[in-house]
Amino acid sequence: MTTAMRARGAGRTNVDRFLTLLRVLLIGLIAIGLLAFLWQQIDPGNAFAKWTHEGEEARRLTWPQFRGLIISGLSQGAMYGLIALGYSMVYGVLGFINFAHGEVFMVGAFTGFIMSNKFDEAGLWEGSAFIPMVLITVIVATLVAMITAIIMERVAYRPLRGSPRLIPLITSIGVSFFIQNAVILLFGPGAKSYPRNPDWMSERIWGVEVVKIIVIVVAALSMAGLWYFVERTKTGKAMRAVAEDKEIASLMGINVDRTIVTTFAVGGAMAGIAGMLWGLLFRSVIATTGFLPGIKAFTAAVVGGVGNLGGAMAGGVSLGSAESLAPLVLLEPLGIDGVSQLRDAVAFTLLILVLLVKPTGLFGERLSSEDRA
């Protein structure tokens, strides 16, 4: 970041000192938490654990518990990663955060809910019909999410191309708000539950639920498909060119408008798949389902480096694992009560930490020169 460099040249200000202190504090806390966790794994009755837990012994995490945390972190992270791809691509191409992308995800999950319930009423959500019906539902959910993203681009963002960059961001906040409340009004405010999955989905292979494995595998496959699309096809090449420089790309005969629509559509499709997976995993969806995962997916995109597709996926997985592990591995050993309530706070703190320590993300940003400012 250029401003940061300039400030460094001008000598250290109090803000810099404060930020250094904050970095040291956050990293120090993480280190202490980790050490305390290791120590209490070895000896639950150690002095530090007794001090933080007011005289009582700490509870040791068993291996199955630990494995459970990792797997739920991975499966959730895989979904964050899928949503993050949409943020990342749109940011790469248009240079603004599509705040409403989380709602595209929610629309996908909602479509899945409607379809699966209808299939369930017809008795098709079980037995041998289950897998084909799930496939149909995924395809429809993906299409609906895609169409939502395309309409969004056409109505709200295209007229704003070239305006100051905060304007489309504010618009996207409005879009997000609008879609959320439209869904509440159209479908009612309560939580909607997916029908029961067939029993084999909650069975365990090596202690891991099948549905979580499915989520991880599907996410990985979608990611691979997207990678192929962006890196190996002509349309993908056009997308990369538009991300690099819109004007030059249009001079090279690329239809910029259509490429941008494609970007939104592909991002929307990924979010739709993630929405459907969310429904299968948590079996419940509500109009505000998209909000937090949306913000967290953005966090994942930043953690991995905005504009970097592999980074988005890796960011998602690391965010998911951090969110799932940190409460018990870092915070609990420090003697904090009710750690599971702090999951969301962990995600946001990770965002702040990454932006403080490595603002370009773990794997580096890939943005056009004008967006790097």
Partner 1 sequence: MTAIDPGTATEPAPIEKGAFDFDWNEAARRGGILALALAFVALTGMPNGLNDRLLIDPILSLGYLSLLWLPFAFGWLSGNEKVLEGMARTKRGLRDVVRGDVIGFVGGLGLSLLVILINAFDLRDPLVNWSPQTLAVLQFDRGQGFGIIAWPILGAILGAAGASLHLLPQRIRRATLAALATVLVFAIFETFIVDLFDFTEDLLYENQGGLKILWAIILFVVAFGASIGGAGRKVGQVRTNYQQATGSAKTTQTALYIFLASVAMIVIPMFTGKITQELLANIGIFLLLALGLNIVVGLAGILDLGYVAFFAVGGYTTAVLTSPNRGEDWPEWFPTMPWWGALMVTIVVAALVGLFIGAPVIRMRGDYLAIVTLGFGEIIRILFLSDWLNGYFNGAQGITNVPPADFGFAQVKGTDPRSVFYLVLVFAAISIYVSWRLERSRLGRAWMAIREDESVAEAMGINTVNVKLMAFVVGAVLASFSGAIFAAKVGSIFPTSFLILVSIIILVVVIVGGMGNIIGVIVGAAVLIGVLGGPKQPGLLAEFSEYKLLIYGALLIVMMLQRPEGLVPNVRRSRELHQEEFLQDAWLKGEVDDAKADGDEPNGGPEGALA
Give the pair of three-digit tokens for residue 140. 């429809």
Phi/psi at 156 (5° precision): -100, -35
CB 75 within 8 A of CB 249: no
- Among the listed residues 181, 202, 233, 255, the single contact to partner 1 using CB under 8 A: 181
- The answer to whether 276 contacts partner 1 (rule: CB under 8 A) is no
State the nearest-atom distance from the C-beta of 319 to partner 1, in Å. 12
Of residues 67 and 165, the one with the C-beta less far from partner 1: 165
| Number of residues written out for the chain | 373
Residue in 24, 25, 122, 173 binding partner 1, rule: CB under 8 A: 173
Phi and psi based region of residue 285 (left: phi greater than 0; alpha: psi -120 to 50; beta: remaining): beta
The amino acid sitting at 33 is G
Q: Is 32 in the site for partner 1 (CB under 8 A)?
A: no
Binding map of partner 1 across residues 37-66, x = CB under 8 A, - = no contact: ------------------------------
Nearer to partner 1, 236 or 307 (CB): 307
Q: Note whether 191 binds partner 1 by CB under 8 A.
A: no
Tell whether residue 237 is a contact of partner 1 (CB under 8 A): no
Please identify which residue in 170, 191, 217, 221 interacts with partner 1, judged by CB under 8 A: 170
Residue 345 binds partner 1, judged by CB under 8 A: yes
Q: Is 186 in the site for partner 1 (CB under 8 A)?
A: yes
Angle subtended at Cα 172 by Cα 166 and Cα 177, rounded to the nearest 5 degrees: 130
The answer to the question of residue 188 lying near partner 1 (CB under 8 A) is: yes
CA of residue 141 relative to chain centroid, distance: 18
Picking from 98, 129, 125, the residue whose alpha carbon sits closest to that of residue 112 is: 125
Query: Could you give the string, one character per residue 195-224, with x where binding to partner 1 holds by CB under 8 A and - elsewhere?
Result: ------------------------------
294 HSE (CA, 13 A, CB side): 26
Binding status of residue 136 toward partner 1 by CB under 8 A: no
Q: How far is the C-alpha of 371 from the C-alpha of 373, rounded, in Å?
A: 6
- The residue count for binding partner 1 (CB under 8 A) is 66
Candidate ranges 46-54, 60-68, 256-264, 293-301; the one touching partner 1 (CB under 8 A)? 293-301
**210 neighbors 200 (Cβ within 8 angstroms):** yes
Tokens of 66: 């630990």
Is the distance from CB of 139 to CB of 207 less than 8 angstroms?
Answer: no
52, 72, 94, 318 from 41: Cα distances, Å: 15, 21, 48, 23
Among positions 40, 75, 116, 171, the unique one binding partner 1 when judged by CB under 8 A: 171
Stretch that binds partner 1, among 32-40, 239-247, 266-274, 331-339 (CB under 8 A): 331-339
Choose, by CB under 8 A, the member of 52, 193, 235, 349 that binds partner 1.
349
User: C-alpha 332: how far from its chain's center?
Assistant: 25
Distances (CA, A) of 39 to 33, 158, 189, 329: 10, 56, 47, 11
Binds partner 1 by CB under 8 A, chosen from 174, 202, 221, 233: 174
Please name the residue that has the structure tokens 């702090």.
342
**Identity of the residue, 4 or 129, whose beta carbon is nearer to partner 1 in the bound complex:** 4
Binding site for partner 1 (CB under 8 A): 1, 3-4, 6-7, 13, 15, 18-19, 22, 96-97, 114, 117-118, 155-156, 159-160, 162-171, 173-182, 184-188, 291, 295, 298-299, 302, 336-339, 341-342, 344-345, 347-349, 351-352, 355-356, 359, 373
